Amino acid sequence: MGLLRRWSPTLLIALVVIDIAVGTVLRFMTTSKLWLDEAQSVNIASKPLGDLTHWLRLDGAPPLYYVLLHFWMGVFGSSDAAVRAMSGVFAVLAIGAAYGAARRWLGHSDALLAAATLAVLPYAIYFGTETRMYSLVMLEAGVIIWILKIHLERPRWLSAGAIALVGALMLYTHYWSIYLLGVIGLFGIIHWWLHRHEERGNRNWLLVGGVATSFVLFLPWVPIFNEQRQHTGTPWAPAPTAYQFFTWFQGFTVNQSIPHIVASLHTQLTLMFFVALVLFGVFGLAMRTDSPMIQLSPTGESRTRTIAFIVFATMAAGLLASNISGSAYVPRYAAVIAIPVCMLLARGVTNLNTSLRILIVFGLFSAASLWTDRWGVGTQRTQAGEIAVALESAPSDSLVYVCPDQLGPSLLRYSNPELTYIGYPRFEKPFIVNWYDYLAAYDKRTPALNAQIQALRVAPGQPVYMVRAPFYGIKNTCLEFEYHLAQDLNRRIKTIVVNRIGDFYQSMELDELVATK
């Protein structure tokens, strides 16, 4: 033990270096096909820039990520590896942003651990391998938290302007940035009030002005945002309930491609370990070197108080707004606070106060995270690859109904392009999911009436296939539509590829409607 104690500082540095190196590599490693959201991103970004606003009106997202991806694909191509690499680059830069922000707020030792935490965090690694904007959001949030501390130490027009610029970029990247920026603006008002009788107190209006300017820069997009808010939203999931105000931590400790099944004992233990370290960073005080007792304070340390306020107030604001507006919450939206959460965890670890304690505890956390990361590399996010292989032998005049059309972007990326694909509920080619008034499109006709209409377009003897998923769409609509279509065509349903919900995040089933004997 004495030898381990003597070597613990060196071993701790080695662990940090290994975590960052392995985490960097893992951000460019996945064997999965692109699932719905990724394929949708690529399909929209492949459109001419002049048409981007039209397609985003139907999708419900802000434009910055898609513009960047458009130019990225123009240089590197649109292969799976190429389109994911941009997120990987942002994810690696986010590790640097985590170090910079944590060093400014907490110090060098905490900064190393914060960077290493983000490097191996399953949440961050997954989004480093997904063709979506979330690694960019993490990078932007880390940078703005970094600039915020610089501004608080010395309020200046330059730092306020930087906050305005980065804040605007965040708003044009993801709408949950509204809550982070709103909380930073609220903090600026509180900070001004507490220091209003000091000279620096008056200058803290610069922070509020910087945040307000970021919203002013967002004004050109506000009409489109309002239209998206009214007509797209999240029709695929209900609004968050009360329990999600307490369980949003979970997303950080699991690979987001995990199928919809009960979490393993490993993931549950990792979650409890993660939450304990974060809370120790919020409420903990540095342990005495001669005592194993954890010291807690209801107010925590002054250097983590602001970070904790930003994290929990942002999540509370976002979840409350989602609940009131009836829009969904999914763990990926928490990307706006991923880096400050890592900072709190790092502080919770360094509060252990000795190199040996820190080495043991952070070593356990790293091992638990990397254990999750290693199987995430090979996890398939979509069953579209299997369906595509099965459709290779389908005759070129086949009709392939895709129900719901949410399965379409991923399926069409890999499947036989000679076939005719028809998405439910709009009965158009499901190259891009049109979320505009999506529920109204479902309610326009019953599955039975839709089946009657579609049966008329099927030529005698024409091959008909159905790709569907039981946990996508609205209730049992797809199952009903398939049943009625088979009845109207006087055919029976023959399953070719079985839906495997336990193996794929986006699972699918392939049926053929064959003539009855």
The yes-or-no verdict on residue 500 having pLDDT over 70 is yes
Residue percentage of the chain with pLDDT more than 70 = 95
pLDDT the model gives residue 250:
86
Quick: pLDDT tens for 261-300: 556 778 888 889 999 999 999 998 877 777 777 888 888 8
Alpha carbon separation from 273 to 180, 254, 277, 286, 362 (Å, rounded): 26, 13, 6, 18, 10
HEC string for 334-367: HHHHHHHHHHHHHHHHHCCCCHHHHHHHHHHHHH
For 331-377, write each residue's pLDDT tens digit. Answer: 899 999 999 999 999 999 999 988 888 999 999 999 999 998 887 78
pLDDT of residue 260: 56
State mean pLDDT over 59-73. 97
For the chain, domain boundaries: 2-230+239-376, 384-515
Q: In the structure encoding, which two tokens stand for residue 280, read together?
A: 């120790």
Query: Mean pLDDT across the stretch 78-92?
Result: 97
Say what the pLDDT of residue 263 is. Answer: 66
Looking at per-residue confidence, does 37 or 378 come out higher? 37
Query: Over the stretch 116-156, which tens digit does the pLDDT of each residue have?
Result: 999 999 999 999 999 999 999 999 999 999 999 999 988 89
If you average pLDDT over residues 367-390, what whole number do you get?
90
Give the pLDDT band (50/70/90) at residue 203: low
Say if residue 201's pLDDT is above 60: no
CA 328 vs CA 122, 137, 255, 333: distances in Å: 22, 19, 20, 10
| Position 158 pLDDT exceeds 70 | yes
- pLDDT number for residue 163: 97
φ/ψ region of 382 (left if φ > 0, alpha if ψ in -120 to 50, else beta) reads: beta
Confidence of residue 157 (pLDDT cuts 50, 70, 90): very high
Q: What is the pLDDT of residues 181-192, one digit of tens each?
A: 999 999 999 888
Q: Quick check: 483 pLDDT over 70?
A: yes
Predicted confidence (pLDDT) at residue 308 exceeds the cutoff of 60? yes
Q: What is the 3-state secondary structure (H, E, C) of 76-95?
A: HCCCHHHHHHHHHHHHHHHH
CATH number of 384-515: 3.40.50
Give residue 454's pLDDT.
94
Query: Which residues make Cβ contacts (< 8 Å) with residue 263, sequence separation at least 6?
Result: 250, 254, 271
